[in-house]
Structure 1
Amino acid sequence: MTRQLPAVTTVNRDPFFAAPALGFDTAPGDILRRRTVSTPQLRNAARAWQLLYASRSDFGSPMAASGIVLAPDIDNDLGSPLPLVVFVPMFHGLGGACAPSQLLAGAGPEPEASLIGSLLKQGWVVAVPDGHGLGVSGIGPHRFLAGKAAAHAVLDLARAVAGLPELGARESAVTVWGYADGGRAAVWAAEQQPSYAPEVDLRGVVAGAVAADPASLIPLTDGGPWAGLAVAGLIGLARTYAHLPVAHTLTETGYQMAEKASGMDAAALLVTFRNQPLGRWCERPDPWHDPMWRHLLGAEITGRGTPQVPVHLYHGATDALIPIGTAFAVHESYRDHGVEVTWDEYLTGHAATIAAAADDAVDRLATLLPHPRLSGRYPG
């Protein structure tokens, strides 16, 4: 019998995030639980709701996901649905108290709160998914680097927003924005939307520093200062493809490591595994070259689908974490397939590009969305 990595069974003390039992009769996007929360880091959010909503795994199994929906502090004079931006955060971790929907509701500082605030300032509704395996108790670890899972979390949250009667957003125009792992999720959402969620009125995506090819990314980070990301990729993908014998490369010490790491946030992963190679816990020094791993990593290459909406990509020219070439290859692939795709490049590194490109990204989203006539506060 093939041994698998265990699910993270640590129970969140807040019963709201307990994983409910789901069947195939629960449609993706159905709201399972909801509650209003305050968002102390976002003064321009009039109202906010934490949601548990139904989603589907990479391979179609029902699962619960969590996220937060934020309404802007404005009135909509036209009475039409306000536009929706699904903002996909960067990698927060495999587990622990790091889910964005919980941080934004006061559990701790959210690193991208200022970017989310800039979207609310435009008069847009903003939805922030936690991603599969993060936030909801007992179903972790986070499915880090799993493109289809990330896309489902994004598109099903857009469906869930349409079910919030307070927003009247059933016919809202939708865009998606993300950077790094969030950018990867954004382009995967664009690729999956025509078949997975054709009823979502997706108008376009804006994606920065897209980690397009995990097979090339993992050996670059392995054994270096960002080695915790290689560990997270191994664990996240092993959990995603648990039906395949992908954990066979781990030694007994490796299984123990994976169980411990599955509950760590990004900061703990980076500190704990700094400069440590995956070969320390595997039967071979380069587990990404194992035939089964080569197979599943090949399935995770971005740019093989064809979005039906405009896609804007951007990247830092000196990005040492995510090489610019793999992201530009996505641009070329989309262009060759007739996608309306644009590209911006910044003379900055990985971290600096987040701030350097932020205003341009918001401006690009504004070209994709209808502009509501705004005055005063959001009603009710």
Structure 2
Amino acid sequence: MHNFLRFFPVFASTLGVVLAVPLNVSHTTISPAPSPTCTEATTTALPPEQDCFYVPPNGWETKEPGAVLRHRFAPQQPFATDTVNYPAWNILYRTTDSNGDPTYAVTTAFAPKDISTPHAMVSFQFNYNSADVNESPSYGIYHDIKPKLWISKYLQHGWFVNLPDFEGPLAAFGAGHMAGYATLDSVRATLKMSQIIGMPRGADQGVRYAMYGYSGGAFATGWAAELQPTYAPDLHFEAAGLGGLFPNGTATLEKLSKLQMSNWAWSSNLRSVMIGLGTMHKKIREVITSSLGKPEWDWNTVIRRLPQEKEVSRLDLKNAVNTAINSPLVRNVLDYDTTLGSHGIPTMPLMFHRADTDQLSAPEDTQELKNVYCNSGASVFLHVHPNTWDDPHFREGLQACLSEDIQTFLATAFARRLYPGCGTDNRPWGDHQYGPIGAR
């Protein structure tokens, strides 16, 4: 891999920017639903704020989680201009937010040209990391190449792909329960669409499914894995992969508050987290505005002005985060909705991977989560990759996309050749040995 990148420096540089940056740096806006003047997209994709498809029908609140509320053949096929045009469908479905209230979300299902044996589906949680509903993957995929690069690899294996907008209609970035519930319900909804999307079903040809996500996508995947035993016991995942995970939300916010001083992308990310959590949890809004030194701002003003550095400097943002996380109200929300390890023990085999010097999360946090799971009988294998890069979190994501190791792990899971156990490996990409979780 390193030789390939060395001999193709322009390609490597371009692809590094395209693949590795997991952060949204646009100004953040938010909308709970499309406007009353929305139009349903027909041949050209529209932003969720403008597309009536994203408005649930009357009575949706009474439906069960995972119920399909409406569906359509995606109006503008994401792979239409590619060599292979993989068909895609949008599915609006009922789910649950972090407060336990009914909400809804959209997922996009993709079908391969040649279906694998065994029949399989990957639920891919893309790290869109944004408090802007218009950055949701169901629409973002039309102008962002990153999710397509991941998805095309899965489709080439003959696997169906599920791509959920797991932050929901309010783009509640950082709300763990919302992300986990929406991910699980997206799988339920896509499986219910099996006949329409050409997915084989039945006792003799049922589809096997697994999850993967990197960075913010690992956040959603991890929450789905923890919540599945109690929220969705009807689902039976073969495995889940989490890359660049940050299990301790409070610790990651503290790291972000320092990193953002020299990098606008991190600052934008931090601002989006504050907006996302405040949007989901109204009780912490006053703490946030007070910490920002803007007690006169209502929440709509926060949404509009916090993303702008001229309104809130990076130093003021750093001080605000340090003040806010010492508030008992905020600390309770962070413990409840951003920190893994106390909401359930995953029943599916797990694979974690991270750079040894990942700047978003201390290695001890990942090791502690692994220990919690393993001590309770879960199967977890951890890959810790030696790092010599300047930006380890980004580059780990780049390597994960370019390497075949993630696909190998998923293929082994679909073949049901993973077996129980826990282990750790520090071999580099391309030389993974699965140890306790590996091919029998």
TM-score bucket (shorter structure)? 0.7 to 0.9
Structure 1's 232 and 319: CA in aligned 2 closer, same or farther, altered over 3 A?
same
SS at match of 2:190: helix
The CA distance in 2 between the partners of 1:326 and 1:24, in whole Å, is: 37
SS at match of 1:354: helix
C-alpha contact 1:33 1:52 (8 A) present in aligned 2: yes
Deviates more, 1:328-337 or 1:149-158: 328-337
Partner of 2:341: 303
Q: Deviations over 1:283-337 (max 9, x none)?
A: x851111011111112231122211110000001121233333222211221221
The CA distance in 2 between the partners of 1:128 and 1:84, in whole Å, is: 11
Partner of 2:123: 86
User: Post-superposition shift, 1:250?
Assistant: 1.3
Partner of 2:367: 328
SS at match of 1:123: coil
Partner of 2:393: 350
Partner of 1:15: 52
Map 1:133-212 onto structure 2 (within 5 A).
133=168, 136=169, 140=170, 142-164=171-193, 165-166=195-196, 167-168=198-199, 171-212=206-247
User: Post-superposition shift, 1:357?
Assistant: 2.6
SS at match of 1:366: helix
C-alpha contact 1:83 1:370 (8 A) present in aligned 2: no
The amino acid that maps onto 2:174 is: L
C-alpha contact 2:341 2:373 (8 A) present in aligned 1: yes
The CA distance in 2 between the partners of 1:322 and 1:13, in whole Å, is: 37
Q: Deviations over 1:336-363 (max 9, x none)?
A: 2121100111223011111223321111
Structure 1's 337 and 42: CA in aligned 2 closer, same or farther, altered over 3 A?
farther
Q: Deviations over 1:94-120 (max 9, x none)?
A: 11531111133x3x1242211111111
C-alpha contact 2:34 2:52 (8 A) present in aligned 1: no
The CA distance in 2 between the partners of 1:296 and 1:276, in whole Å, is: 24
C-alpha contact 1:190 1:204 (8 A) present in aligned 2: no
Please state which structure has a larger fraction of its residues in helix.
2
Deviates more, 1:357-366 or 1:35-44: 35-44
The CA distance in 1 between the partners of 2:63 and 2:106, in whole Å, is: 15
Q: Deviations over 1:183-223 (max 9, x none)?
A: 11112111111111111121110001112111111122125
Partner of 2:426: none
The amino acid that maps onto 1:152 is: Y
Structure 1's 279 and 258: CA in aligned 2 closer, same or farther, altered over 3 A?
farther
Partner of 1:337: 376
C-alpha contact 2:286 2:295 (8 A) present in aligned 1: no
C-alpha contact 2:162 2:187 (8 A) present in aligned 1: yes
- With structure 1 as the length reference, what TM-score do the two structures score? 0.83
Runs (5+) with no aligned partner, structure 1: 1-5, 372-380
Partner of residue 414 from structure 2, selected from 369, 375, 378: 369
Coordinate RMSD, CA, aligned? 2.9
Structure 1's 255 and 63: CA in aligned 2 closer, same or farther, altered over 3 A?
farther
Partner of residue 25 from structure 1, selected from 62, 74, 84: 62
The amino acid that maps onto 2:184 is: L
Partner of residue 357 from structure 2, selected from 318, 321, 339: 318
User: Post-superposition shift, 1:144?
Assistant: 1.5
SS at match of 1:131: coil
Structure 1's 26 and 109: CA in aligned 2 closer, same or farther, altered over 3 A?
same
SS at match of 1:353: helix
Q: How many percent of aligned residue pairs carry the same amino acid?
A: 22
Structure 1's 126 and 276: CA in aligned 2 closer, same or farther, altered over 3 A?
farther
The CA distance in 1 between the partners of 2:153 and 2:115, in whole Å, is: 17
The amino acid that maps onto 2:192 is: G
The CA distance in 2 between the partners of 1:369 and 1:200, in whole Å, is: 15
The amino acid that maps onto 1:143 is: A
C-alpha contact 2:287 2:324 (8 A) present in aligned 1: no
The amino acid that maps onto 2:273 is: G
Partner of 1:232: 272
Where relative contact order (Cα < 8 A, 6+ residues apart) is larger, the structure is: 1
The CA distance in 1 between the partners of 2:158 and 2:381, in whole Å, is: 25
Structure 1's 10 and 168: CA in aligned 2 closer, same or farther, altered over 3 A?
closer
Partner of residue 98 from structure 1, selected from 129, 135, 140: 135
Partner of 1:69: 109
Partner of residue 329 from structure 2, selected from 278, 292, 303: 292
Structure 1's 317 and 277: CA in aligned 2 closer, same or farther, altered over 3 A?
farther
Computing the radius of gyration from Cα coordinates, the structure with the larger value is: 2
C-alpha contact 1:278 1:286 (8 A) present in aligned 2: no
Partner of 2:405: 360
SS at match of 1:60: coil
Partner of 2:150: 115
User: Post-superposition shift, 1:260?
Assistant: 5.4
User: Post-superposition shift, 1:20?
Assistant: 4.0
SS at match of 1:64: strand
The CA distance in 2 between the partners of 1:112 and 1:255, in whole Å, is: 39
Partner of 1:374: none
Q: Deviations over 1:129-165 (max 9, x none)?
A: 11233xx4xxx2x221221111111110100111112
The amino acid that maps onto 2:410 is: L
Deviates more, 1:145-154 or 1:223-232: 223-232
User: Post-superposition shift, 1:279?
Assistant: 6.1
The amino acid that maps onto 1:230 is: L
Partner of 1:378: none
